[in-house]
Structure 1
Amino acid sequence: MKSSDAALPLEALPHPPRRIPIIGDVASVDRRRPTQHELKLAQGGLGPIFQRKLLGTQLIIVAGGRLSTQCSDETAWGRVLLGPLAKLRPIAPHGMFTASSKDPLWGQARRVLTPGFAQAAMRTYHDAMASVADDLVTEWASAGSAGVAVHSAMTRATLEVIARAGFGRDLRLFDPAGTADDSDRFVRELGRTLQWASESTNDVPLIGHVRAALRGPAARRDIASLQQYVDELIADRHRENSSEATDLLGLMLTATDPETGARLPAANVRDQTLTFLIAGHETTAALLEVALFHLAENPDYQDRIRGEIPSQTAGLSYDEVTKMRFTRQFLNECLRLWPPAPGFFRIARTDQNLGGYLVPAGRAVFVLALAAQRDPEVWGATAEDFDPDRFDSTALRAFPDRFFQPWGTGPRSCIGRAFALHEATLMLGRLVHAFDLRTTSATPLTLRERGTLRPEPFELTARGRSVAATAGR
């Protein structure tokens, strides 16, 4: 509904219990797991749309599937930069995900980089992705019966994929000689920065201001170091003088905008490179970790993925990866239940009637995809169950009103979607072909938040299935 007739004011929205006058809903704050806490509030009775207030600042949370779909209508709603993404803006002010939609550099970068994610480009990236998968298989094979640290492995694998495929650079994160000091430092600084962005966004007022003042200098040092690392990566490409390179960095340095004929400014090349290193690894690593946890818990899913792999091969060609339909269903179910980006902000272009409440033009709401993608009204009574078969094309007909937006919505949705899904499909295929995966404890999947929703570090065992299965093609 777009009409404001009979709509209630936002002050009438449900809110968490134990609201304190003036201070607000301080009892409902969880700075370490904010969106998971909001999921519990929605499922605990607050419903498809509710409010949280702290010191007069009101946050409108949209948790229902149908209302979230309404907020995805680009004619009535737009994207707005708030929350952890806004905190990350100092790292890459004009990056693909941190720039304002009105920023002309955003449109220019999108047009320049779009060919870098077309099918022809994806075919050229495949071998680089496969080389990382080979390194990962080799490392896990050497672990023997010892557990493998999944968080570290996926962080390094996804960073290496974006670096090798997108920037033509080996970060040496799988070098057994341990010569990747600069890259290791980059990983640590990036982790601290993401944690800072998430926790400072969801901190309690006053206390949060003190914490921000104490943490600020260290955060700024980390950001400066991250930028320096990327500056050196770009300088290496300039020294190589590889003007014919057609990877992502090559496009950013040499391609012209089809509308304006201009190249990206040097500062924007840094912003986009940082953006891809951060977003291109963190979200895919989160997805792979969730997927590996579910695979290790359910060997039947491993068998079904193996059934999509030609038995005589250990490596996978580009075309073979694109035919792995069940693996894509499996990944979609991981994304549905645990989207790495658990929500996004939307702003009303005009007055909107959202669930019977008046959202005035210019007012922002937070679409909690983590809750909307579990809404039984649009996903059925088993919405909380992990079931990859719900994404079978026939089964999907039972959910015509489903909400599924793990990549965001509208023109600002993730440009690297095809890249991430191909990478994740290839990685899972290679790992289950080479190993039987098992969990090492009965600990349930626990997610932490640092801008993204990502599992707490865990281990699993990877028992080699055969010598042939551990060799690359």
Structure 2
Amino acid sequence: MIPPKPQARPDKTNFWQHLRLFRQDILSSQPARLYRAWMAEFRTPFFRSYLCNDPALVARILSERPEDFPKSNRIREGLSPLLGNSVFVTNGEVWKRQRRIIDPAFEGGRLRDTFPAMVAAGTASAARLSPGVTEIEEDMSHAAADVIFRTLFSIPIEHEIASAVFREFRTYQRTQPLLNLAAFLPLPRWMPRFHKPATRRSAAVIRGLIARLCQARADEIAAGNAPDDLATKIMTTRDPMSRETFTTEEMIDQVAIFFLAGHETSASALSWALYLLALYPQVQERVAAEAVSLGQAPDFAELSKLKYTRDVFREVLRLYPPVPMMVRENRCPETMRDRKVAPGAQMVLSPWHLHRHERIWPNPDAFDPDRWQTEENRACARDAYLPFSTGPRVCTGAGFAMVEGPLLLAMLVRDWQFARIEGRDPVPVAHLTVRAKDGIWLDLSRRLLG
């Protein structure tokens, strides 16, 4: 069975039809030809956008000349109430300063330090599950949020503030499309941005709760009794150029994106991973056989035992990349595949289409974890695999995610069997990340080992 994929729209639609479809779901609003096109142009009354699937163009934009293609403010329009001026939306010197402060917290040695917190979150997640029909996205959101709070602030999801942030974020998700109307219109900065009142209220509540966590941690740092976790590391790291640390308001912005990116993307990937294991029981059994080799409280060195599980997780990220599209803005006159591209154009890089491109990947829509052990596939991955972006703006947490994902997947499959429910296969849609239109429903039973 081929895993589910949204039905593409007809090739011919006008701007307003496309806008309506786009706001409902980015994935199903795209024509099928984009899975085999190297480049496609889309015109609006206000700007032009270009989808770039040519690996050479992707490399030019993300790796070779990233400063000529900064993050587009059109994505920022919809997320600004929550993210403020976080590293996810900034450009230029502001972004460089933010990365100089943030990156040291996610260097290799720090992953080993955060590993026990990930294990604790995985243990708690497996214990929370119960037999029977379950909507697994909710459970994986809970698990991923638990990882973030344990590694960032050394508190479990049951902590009063952590629990309140998680609940409020669920409300925020339901009110916030990936793009709002301001992303499509050339509005001056002084005009309102058309955010729903519920979105603004929810974002304000989340930021207020994060502010309480940041202020409490600042007080602990001043008193000399702060835990050695990611928040402490980030809040005490000085920019090597200016010697400044983040202000409290800047830290609120960064924690907001850590929670959004680190929790929402991991929840998406884990949910689709469990669905695919239910769809392919033989793959699930291979993961379970690997997972049995882990101790009840595995240490960092035991990750090396999860080779096949890691390939499963890579393949999940290929088929269901949590962030389906990225948008950059062209600053210079360009020629791309013999087209003149004027400054101000929106350059769309789509992991969703690149990862399923019919002219790059063999059998692109199939779920095949074994493909990651072939040289042919490694070549495809070098050209067209970017679940965490690439180049200078590669996701800071990419290494973190590739530890967290296989670990939690193995810990869950070690204790539980996940079975598909006939007639309830999920339909992928793009909200803040790639999620299922009506949730991912699975039938759970305890795994009997031995």
Q: TM-score range by the shorter chain?
A: 0.7 to 0.9
1:26 positional shift = 4.3
Aligned to 2:202: 222
Name the structure 1 match of 2:65.
75
Question: Which structure's CA Rg is the greater one?
Answer: 1
Take 2:225 and 2:85, find their aligned partners in 1: how far apart are those partners?
24
Correspondent of 2:394 among 406, 413, 430? 413
Alpha-carbon distance in structure 2 between the residues aligned to 1:100 and 1:318? 35
Quote the offset at 1:258 in angstroms: 2.2
Structure 1: any 5+ residue segments left out of the alignment? 1-14
Question: Residues 166, 374 of structure 1: CA spacing in aligned structure 2 closer, same or farther, 3 A cutoff?
Answer: same
Aligned counterpart in structure 2 of residue 166 of structure 1, from 152, 155, 176: 152
Q: Distance in 2 between matches of 1:259 and 1:56?
A: 40
Q: Distance in 1 between matches of 2:185 and 2:248?
A: 38
Instruction: Give the superposition deviation at 1:35.
Output: 3.3
Residues 1:197 and 1:242: Cα distance change in structure 2 (over 3 Å):
farther
Cα displacement string for residues 30-66 of structure 1 (whole angstroms, at most 9, x for unaligned residues): 32212342253524x8x33222333343322224445
The 3 A distance-change label for structure 1 pair 417 and 397 is closer
**1:337 counterpart letter in structure 2:** L
CA contact (8 A) 2:425 2:440 kept: no
Equivalent residue letter for 2:196: G
The residue type paired with residue 319 of structure 1 is: A
- Superposition pairs for residues 432-443 of structure 1, below 5 Å? 432-443=413-424
d(CA) in 2 for partners of 1:82, 1:96: 13
1:332 aligns with 2:318: no
Report the RMSD for the aligned CA atoms in angstroms: 3.0
Contact 1:379 1:402 in 2 (8 A): no
Letter in 2 for 1:340: P
Question: Are residues 224 and 261 of structure 1, via their aligned partners in 2, closer, same or farther at CA, if it must alter by over 3 Å?
Answer: same
TM-score by length of 1: 0.82
Q: State the one-letter code of the partner of 1:132.
A: A
Q: 1:410 Cα deviation (Å)?
A: 1.9
Aligned length: 433
Alignment partner of 2:125 out of 96, 112, 136: 136
372, 375, 382: which one aligns with 2:357: 375
Q: Who is 1:3 aligned against?
A: none
1:233 pairs with 2:213? yes
Aligned to 1:87: 78
Alpha-carbon deviation of 1:282?
0.5
Q: Quick check: 2:152–2:230 contact (8 Å CA) kept in 1?
A: yes
Deviation at 1:110, TM superposition (A): 1.5
- Tell me, yes or no, if structure 1 residue 185 matches structure 2 residue 171: no
Q: Among the aligned pairs, what percent are the same residue?
A: 24
1:445 aligns with 2:440: no
Q: Which amino acid aligns with 2:319?
A: L
Q: TM-score, with normalisation over the residues of structure 2? A: 0.86
2:295 match: secondary structure: coil
Of 95, 98, 109, 1:109 maps to 98
User: For each residue in 1:258-278, what CA deviation from the matched residue of structure 2 results, as whole angstroms up to 9, or x when unmatched?
Assistant: 232211112111111111011
Which secondary structure does the structure 1 equivalent of 2:51 belong to?
A: strand
**Cα distance 1:396–1:366, how it changes in 2: closer, same or farther (>3 A)?**
same
In structure 1, what is the Cα distance between the partners aligned to 2:163 and 2:371? 44
Q: Do residues 29 (structure 1) and 21 (structure 2) align? A: yes
Cross-structure match for 2:368? 387
Kindly indicate whether residue 268 of structure 2 is the aligned counterpart of residue 286 of structure 1. Answer: yes
In the alignment, the residues of structure 2 paired with residue 205 and residue 25 of structure 1 have an alpha-carbon distance, to the nearest angstrom, of 19
> Is 1:403 aligned with 2:392?
no
Q: What is aligned with 2:333?
A: 351
Which residue of the partner structure matches residue 347 of structure 2? 365
Cα pair 2:149 2:156 within 8 Å, conserved: yes
Structure 2 residues without counterparts, runs of 5 or longer:
1-9
The letter for the 2-side match of 1:191 is Q
AA in 2 matched with 1:79 = P
Q: How does 1:11-50 map to 2 (within 5 A)?
A: 16-19=11-14, 26=18, 29-38=21-30, 40-43=32-35, 47-50=37-40
Contact 1:150/1:460, CA 8 A, preserved across alignment: yes
Tell me the residue number matched to 2:4.
none
Q: How far apart are residue 179 of structure 1 and its match?
A: 10
- SS of the residue corresponding to residue 37 of structure 1 reads coil
Q: Secondary structure at the match of 2:383?
A: coil
